[in-house]
Chain A
Amino acid sequence: MNRNSEFAAEQAPVRKYELGQPIVRREQRAAFERIHRALAQAWSDQMTEILPQSAGIEFAGLEFAAFASISSGEDAGGPRAVFSIEPQQMGGFLMMSAAMTRLVVNRRLGLNTPREGASPFTRLETAIANETLRAMITRLADTYARASLGSIANVHECADGPDASFAPDDQLALVKFHLNGADDAMHLLLGVSANLVSTLAQSHAADGQPLDNRGAVAGAVARLPIEVDVVLGRWSVPIAELLQLRAGDRIVLPDGEDAWLAARGVRIWRASVEVTADGARLQIIGSAP
């Protein structure tokens, strides 16, 4: 390896290929970024009275990564909240860095002599920080609703971070924001289930504009929740035998190798099912005949 290639390797570290990453089309990614640029503007407008003059919140990038890649100490000290996105049953969180929280809290309290940045937050300051974060999540909810990305619900603060709400291998879309003109310590991190990006309707993704009526209807239909049964197997039983079934009776079930997903009795996908101690895992095999 010559000196130049060594330098290139240092500049562009090789990242592990993540099998679990979602399929995200380029147009969907662009639309997702546009939505969050608009969100940054909405937050800036919302916080005009709080942020320093001419300062605003800016979109600073989008990346996809497993939840485990987020450092447990990420943004330690700042407020954090988790939420769900319905009806997709996806999760998300919003975290504000300690430095940005200190700035926001000081300005809301009208402190002319800011308290030392590294000092712990008092209960009052923590309450102010949490209220600010909740107001930002309300604006986030408005933005997502307008973009037909779903409804934000079940918002709650989590002082210890969102670890309890996500598994280490959960794939997330991580949207970064920072305060323009400030140092890197002034930032926000929004994480949502990566599959949310792939639910963006194609017509929305193509031009980034709100859908026309026809497209809106198609988008709404695409997101309609459908009740799906996971069926291990099927067998025939005489009614007489069925009538004798009693609590405590034991039945050996199909092993799950030939299971399927069905909606309203219609088989959609073939699957194999593995039952584990704390749940079950399906692997899609193919479309049902």
Chain B
Amino acid sequence: MTSRSLLHSEVEIDAVLSSIKMPAEALAGLAAGDHIDLEAQGSTELTVRLVADSETIAVASLTLDGDRLVATILKNGPGGAGKRIDQWKNRKARTTA
């Protein structure tokens, strides 16, 4: 019975498109309208991680089906499966220079 109720309990899943490293100052210095371009590291395709409580439970490839984003599971199971740090570039919205 405990097991059954456990199976019916729900967990929150985050779809993490990318993880990047950014200096604290740059993160704090972002502003509405700024753009960040993401580029998958060492690969030509973006993946998405399904994360529950900071734990990666599955890694999926990402495709566009019309205007829908579809994730196809590549690898599932607990552990730090597939985590990687992607490249990024920031373009500010406006200038005073």
Contact = CB atoms under 8 A, between A and B. Distances in A.
Interface string A13-26: 00000111111110
21 contacts: A19-B93, A24-B97, A226-B21, A230-B38, A232-B16, A233-B14, A233-B15, A236-B13, A237-B10, A239-B9, A246-B73, A250-B70, A253-B15, A253-B62, A253-B69, A254-B15, A254-B69, A259-B17, A265-B54, A269-B30, A275-B46
Interface stretch (A73-81, A120-128, A176-184, A277-285): A277-285
Given A87-B21, A230-B17, 17 more contacts: A19-B93, A170-B89, A195-B90, A222-B24, A226-B27, A228-B21, A232-B15, A238-B7, A238-B8, A245-B57, A249-B72, A252-B68, A255-B67, A255-B68, A269-B30, A275-B46, A282-B38
Interface of B: 6-27, 29-40, 44, 46, 48, 50-52, 54, 57-58, 60, 62, 64, 67-76, 85, 87-97
Given A23-B97, A226-B24, A281 B36 contact: yes
A235 B95 contact: no
A128 to B, nearest CB: 34
A203 interface: no
Contact of B19 (A195, A230, A275): A230
Q: Name which of B17, B32, B96 has the most chain A CB atoms within 10 A of its CB.
A: B17
Contacts of A256: 17, 69
Contact of B24 (A29, A223, A230, A252): A223
A235 B12 contact: yes
